[in-house]
Structure 1
């Protein structure tokens, strides 16, 4: 993997490290999960449109495979974002981060079973080692797992499975698009899908957007966590691999802890450093060999 891909991985983890906080703020303001999906997609979509116009990047709308784009948007954005929003009303952020970090493993399993991917033993070992690092970093123990709300637990796990499918689908169907086109198209699909479900299920008063705390969180979640983030995410998928892009979820809890240390003066214990060493070592090990795919 090139240095630019690892730089994108680091930057994306820093952006997504704050996303769980923004979601929590929106939920505290009684913004529903479907409404969050619609608003974050819309903010992100407006951002990518303005960015492409400013950079004079052609949209090439007629060359976009819209059926595949809608499928990717639903599986990789609308469904997992909604499930995460709902699960965060029932489980702690630390547990959500651990479950979110199963995404790379699901991505590999989906690739193996449905997309003809072949993985070497070193890749499996690296992914599992990084996941152990997440558990150590966040101090998760059997008691905390047993006490977790089963519905919230199940929804979060289902969201990561959606990410596993969606990431592989992006690699398969969107490889001919640029990272800007892919982000533009999928955010449009997510905004449409989220908007339809928001209207049917929640019917919110959208004037809440202009509440200061809500608007700021939407800018963070929409512009950064959806617009900028998915440019980086699609770059890693298209230039690297689906599995490498999914490994960003290992670093999201790390970046959340770093933000807490820098902004809130929170303590960083030995478990954070030990977990980080395992995560870095595991991700590096897992990406030493490229995935080999079967023909067809």
Structure 2
């Protein structure tokens, strides 16, 4: 299988896996706090990746570790907590649609910080996407007055972290294979995740009930498949494609997430679906202009 075929295969698999991750987080939050969900997600993933990828760590040279640490923080540590809190405040399907801002931010910060070229059509695409985002948030606040749509800002901040992560891996870690990068990330994150879990009161307050047991099951699936395996595939995708193409996995993630949300009884109006389509159209314009 050549690189062209591989990158589309990875894109489809990642969209299915990450599109399902939002509903898994929502279900895990029934029995766990957002902080516990984020910390457990990183800790379980760390154990899994160190079991399968420990030998790959020897390929990480001293010059790589600085960028491995930065991308671990921006692409994993902070976003897992931001998304957990966001889904606690707003519907998982809305969170997934807002995550579509990642390609915008990948392009914007790629142009501003990493020296990528800037084109007029891409700027138009960004404006289109921002209009869609505004409509989505305002209509969501109207449709779900019991939800706090300020939580949408957490998703936007996380998408900026993802944008820096993608650009930095492409620019500074392109000579390092995907498994080594991902295992390096979670080697560095294991201790901080454990400390956060300890201070969250998990070990002193956790009680075994049907609800908490189910939550642990959901977070384990999310950690191993949705974070561990998916991160390896995503880092591989970054290597064999461009940063913008890699982040364009968010084209398809909302479709999967919205379907799961509908199945779970979340309310989504036609205007919100239209706004989601506007956001994706803007992302498409940015990518097409490239």
Give the shorter-chain TM-score range.
0.7 to 0.9
Q: Do the aligned partners of 1:38 and 1:192 also contact (CA within 8 Å) in 2?
A: no
* TM-score computed with the length of structure 1 as normaliser: 0.77
- Kindly report which structure 2 residues correspond to 1:197-216, keeping only aligned pairs within 5 A, or say none: 197-199=196-198, 201-205=199-203, 211-216=212-217
SS, match of residue 29 in structure 2: helix
SS, match of residue 89 in structure 2: coil
Superposed displacement of residue 109, structure 1:
0.9
Superposed displacement of residue 131, structure 1:
7.7
- Counterpart of 1:116 in structure 2 is 115
Give the Cα separation in 1 of the matches to 2:197 and 2:109: 29
Give the Cα separation in 2 of the matches to 1:95 and 1:184: 30
Give the Cα separation in 1 of the matches to 2:264 and 2:140: 25
- Counterpart of 2:30 in structure 1 is 28
- Counterpart of 1:12 in structure 2 is 14
* TM-score computed with the length of structure 2 as normaliser: 0.79
- Counterpart of 1:293 in structure 2 is none
Indicate which of 5, 12, 35 corresponds to 1:3: 5
Superposed displacement of residue 279, structure 1:
7.9
Give the Cα separation in 1 of the matches to 2:12 and 2:132: 17
CA separation of 1:258 and 1:68: change in aligned 2, threshold 3 A = same
Task: Please say if 1:143 is aligned against 2:139.
Answer: yes
CA separation of 1:24 and 1:141: change in aligned 2, threshold 3 A = closer
Report Cα offsets for 1:252-277 as digits up to 9, x if no partner: 1111244568x7799x9998998898
Task: Please say if 1:195 is aligned against 2:194.
Answer: yes
Give the Cα separation in 2 of the matches to 1:271 and 1:10: 26
Q: Do the aligned partners of 1:74 and 1:193 also contact (CA within 8 Å) in 2?
A: no
In structure 1, the gaps of 5 or more residues are 291-296
Give the Cα separation in 2 of the matches to 1:254 and 1:166: 24
Give the Cα separation in 2 of the matches to 1:80 and 1:184: 18
More deviation, 144-153/35-44: 144-153
Give the Cα separation in 1 of the matches to 2:16 and 2:130: 18
In structure 2, the gaps of 5 or more residues are none
Give the Cα separation in 2 of the matches to 1:180 and 1:186: 10
More deviation, 107-116/60-69: 60-69
